[in-house]
Structure 1
Amino acid sequence: MNKTKNAIFEAAIKIFSNRGYTGATMDEIAISAGVAKGTLYYHFKSKEEIFKYIVSEGMNIIREQIDTVTKVEEGPVEKLRAICKVQLGMVYNNRDFFKVVMSQLWGQELRQSELRAAIRDYINHIENYLKEAIKVGYIKEAETSFMAYTFFGTMCSAAVFELINGENSDVDEVIEKVMSYILHGLSV
């Protein structure tokens, strides 16, 4: 991503996070990015196009980070921990992006449908790691699609807990709690 597009990317996330999709304007994004309005329109024809870009780029960044950190991990549990660390780290370090994603998941607009498709692709990526864990016998055989959504949802719930309670706990401690609940359930 070039310098100008990166500035627009960062500015758009902040504006969408603070003002909502409806309240955000191309003028505000241009000003926040420090670019002329013509430059903004050179790169993006509409607010909708900017939104699609930040979603696709943001999700690509997360997937790339996951692939990078899981390559150095050998076991399936370590890879799942690494996924937790990347996703929770994204929430802690990029709260505005998380807020934009969560605020636009519901609804019937095209951008919301496309966002759900991007999240679905990300969850399918997680599912591949769960399949690997099943294949080597670390996780019992089950419906991997539902497991992947549960895994994703549990991490989102942990992030929401942190956001609401403002605890800013140690990420590794949160990961251990999430992994314990996922792998061992809530039973005694």
Structure 2
Amino acid sequence: MNRTKKAIFESGVKVFSEKGFTGATMDEIAANAGLVKGTLYYHFKSKQEIFDYIISEGISIIKDEVQEAVKREKNYISKIRELCRIQLNVVYNNRDFVKVVMSELWGRGDINSEIKNAITKYISYIENNLKEGMESGEVRKGEPSFMAYTFLGMLCSSAVYEFINKDKENVSKVIDNLITYMVEGIGNPI
């Protein structure tokens, strides 16, 4: 990402997180990026195009970071633990981006196609890791698609928990608790 596009990305994330898609304007995005409006229009034709770029790039950055960390792990439970740890750290360190995604996911009646496609691809990535874990015998057999959605839901719920309790909870503790509950379950051992 070149310097101008990076400035637009960061500005767009900030403006969309504060104003939402409907309230954001090209003028605000340009001003916040320190650009004249013409430069913004040189790179992007519309607010929708900027929004789609932000979603696509943001999800791609998260996915690349997760994939790189997961590659280093040898077994699938470790991969799932690392996927969880990296994902939550990325979420906690990019709150404005997550706020944009979440508000658009649940805020408007129609889900933006860029968000839907990006999340679908990410869930597919999680599902493939779970399938491989099932094939190796490290992950309990089950419905990998549903498990992947459940996994993502638990990650989102943990992010909400941390956002609300950020002054009371240590991020590492939240991550460790999620991993324990997700991998080991919440039932008492028999």
State the TM-score, normalizing by the size of structure 1.
0.94
The residue type paired with residue 183 of structure 1 is: V
1:111-126 equivalent positions in 2, closer than 5 A: 112-126=112-126
How far off its partner does 1:108 sit?
4.0
1:180 aligns with 2:180: yes
How far off its partner does 1:168 sit?
6.6
Aligned residues with identical type, % of pairs: 53
The residue type paired with residue 185 of structure 1 is: G
| Structure 2 unpaired stretches of 5+ | none
The residue type paired with residue 166 of structure 2 is: G
More divergent stretch after superposition (155-164 vs 172-181):
172-181
Instruction: State how far apart, in whole Å, the 2-side matches of 1:112 and 1:77 are.
Output: 33
1:118-143 residue CA offsets vs partner (Å, 9 max, x unmatched): 11111111111111211111111100
1:26-67 residue CA offsets vs partner (Å, 9 max, x unmatched): 000000011111000000000000000000001110111011
| Structure 1 unpaired stretches of 5+ | none
1:157-178 residue CA offsets vs partner (Å, 9 max, x unmatched): 0110010122474443222211
Aligned equivalent of 1:78? 78
Q: Is the 8 A contact 2:56 2:114 kept in 1?
A: no
Instruction: State how far apart, in whole Å, the 2-side matches of 1:49 and 1:12 are.
Output: 11
Instruction: State how far apart, in whole Å, the 1-side matches of 2:185 and 2:77 are.
Output: 15
The residue type paired with residue 63 of structure 1 is: K
More divergent stretch after superposition (112-121 vs 146-155):
112-121
Aligned equivalent of 2:21? 21
How has the CA–CA distance of structure 1 residues 124 and 47 changed in structure 2, closer, same or farther, with 3 Å as cutoff?
Answer: same
Number of residue-to-residue matches in the alignment: 187
State the TM-score, normalizing by the size of structure 2.
0.93
Instruction: State how far apart, in whole Å, the 1-side matches of 2:121 and 2:63 are.
Output: 10
How has the CA–CA distance of structure 1 residues 169 and 74 changed in structure 2, closer, same or farther, with 3 Å as cutoff?
Answer: farther
How far off its partner does 1:100 sit?
0.3
More divergent stretch after superposition (80-89 vs 41-50):
80-89
Which aligned segments of 4 or more residues in structure 1 are displaced greater than 4 angstroms?
none
Instruction: State how far apart, in whole Å, the 2-side matches of 1:52 and 1:65 are.
Output: 20
Aligned residue for 2:105, secondary structure, equals: coil
Aligned equivalent of 2:105? 105
Aligned equivalent of 1:56? 56
Q: Is the 8 A contact 2:17 2:97 kept in 1?
A: yes
Instruction: State how far apart, in whole Å, the 2-side matches of 1:173 and 1:18 are.
Output: 29
Q: Is the 8 A contact 2:7 2:33 kept in 1?
A: yes
RMSD (Å), alpha carbons:
1.4
Aligned equivalent of 1:139? 139
How far off its partner does 1:11 sit?
0.5
How far off its partner does 1:155 sit?
0.9
Aligned residue for 2:78, secondary structure, equals: helix
